[in-house]
Amino acid sequence: MEFNGGQFTDDQIIRYSRHIILPEVGGKGQAMIASAKVFLIGAGGLGCPISYYLTAAGVGRIAIVDDDVVDLSNLQRQILHSTKTVGMPKVESAKAVLNALNPDVEIIAIKDRLTPQNILGFIKDYDIVIDGSDNFPTRYLVNDACVLANKPLSSGAVLRFEGQVTTIIPGEGHCYRCLFEEMPPEGLVPSCQEGGVLGVLPGIIGTLQAMEVLKLILGKGDVLKNTLLIYDALRTNFRKVRVPKNLDCPVCGENPTITALCSSYEANYCSA
């Protein structure tokens, strides 16, 4: 999206008027949003609300990577997809809705599996990475890649009635491995497919991630740096847990043992 040196079109002024009138945003902030490039992993429960709101907000470029196709069982929570797009690649189903919402935003649909071999090439041209994946290997892969490439990362997770959000700023705050050094052994932690999730929950966590991303773009407010936000939907409770940077962290600590991406993150333990 171009604003011709700060000039908005009449339609853009109307579309973004509720942003522009905020002292924290204004025309300058909206132009920052318009020039931001974000890389989103997953077009599922978290990825749908994240990309929906970031598209509405007018983020300049959003790349979405997902190798899955829409399944009927996704529709209880993955709000960009519909009964009509069952069987279609999720990134294509998502792109159609996002393009219809806001043609200002460039949506790049990548139907691919994220791997240690391709992730650094994917994220290098983006300002912020957003993890909306639903499995531990991807979460650790994305974390390590963002620390190594020095990219801010919004990470979210949901299971049953509980969600977690955190914002990782490499070099400034904690990373995911400071929090949980190693992946849990396979079979111990149920994946989302097995675990079940109340459909609204990824909507809440995903929109919190979208808000974190907009604040990162604008440089306003406090993000969840060194902090894990835990939402308990059954008890309607938000809890912030302080997560100090771990000086012995294997990837972002003082003497890291992970200095390049592991060849595979499918194995339970990756400590390079």
Partner 1 sequence: MEEIIPDKRIDIRGLKCPYTFVRSKLAIEQMNTGEVLEVLLNYPEASVSIPKSMQDHGQRVLSVDKINDTDWIILIRKERD
Q: Under the rule (CB under 8 A), what is the footprint of partner 1?
A: 6, 8, 13-14, 17-18, 20-21, 23, 26-28
Pairing, β 61-65 against β 106-110: parallel
Residue 178 CB, nearest approach to Zn ion (Å): 3
Q: Is the separation of the CB atoms in 183 and 269 below 8 Å? A: yes
Strand spans (E) along 90-198: 106-110, 128-131, 153-159, 162-168
Q: Nearest approach, Cβ of 57 to partner 1 (angstroms)? A: 16
* Contact range with Zn ion by CB under 5 A, out of 25-33, 38-46, 176-184, 199-207: 176-184
Binding partner of residue 178 among Zn ion, partner 1, none, CB cut-off 5 to 8 Å per kind: Zn ion
- Residue from 175, 205, 213, 270 in contact with Zn ion (CB under 5 A): 175
Nearer to Zn ion, 228 or 252 (CB): 252
Min dist CB 2 to partner 1, Å, is 16
Least CB distance to partner 1 at residue 20 (A): 5
Copy the structure tokens of residue 219.
């440089």
What's the length of the chain? 272
Give the separation between CA 225 and CA 245, rounded to whole angstroms.
Answer: 10
Instruction: Establish if 249 lies at the interface with Zn ion (CB under 5 A).
Output: yes
261 and 145 Cβ atoms separated by less than 8 Å: yes
Of partner 1, Zn ion, none, which one does residue 252 interact with (CB within 5 to 8 Å by kind)?
Zn ion
List of E strands, 12-170: 37-41, 61-65, 106-110, 128-131, 153-159, 162-168
CB of 172 to partner 1, least distance (A): 25
Sites for Zn ion among residues 38-77 (CB under 5 A): none
Selected binder of Zn ion within 81, 139, 151, 177 (CB under 5 A):
177
DSSP letter at 183 equals P
Q: In terms of CB distance, is 28 or 113 closer to partner 1?
A: 28
Burial of 88 (0-12, 13-18, 19+ CB in 10 A): middle
Positions that interact with Zn ion (CB under 5 A): 175, 177-178, 249, 252
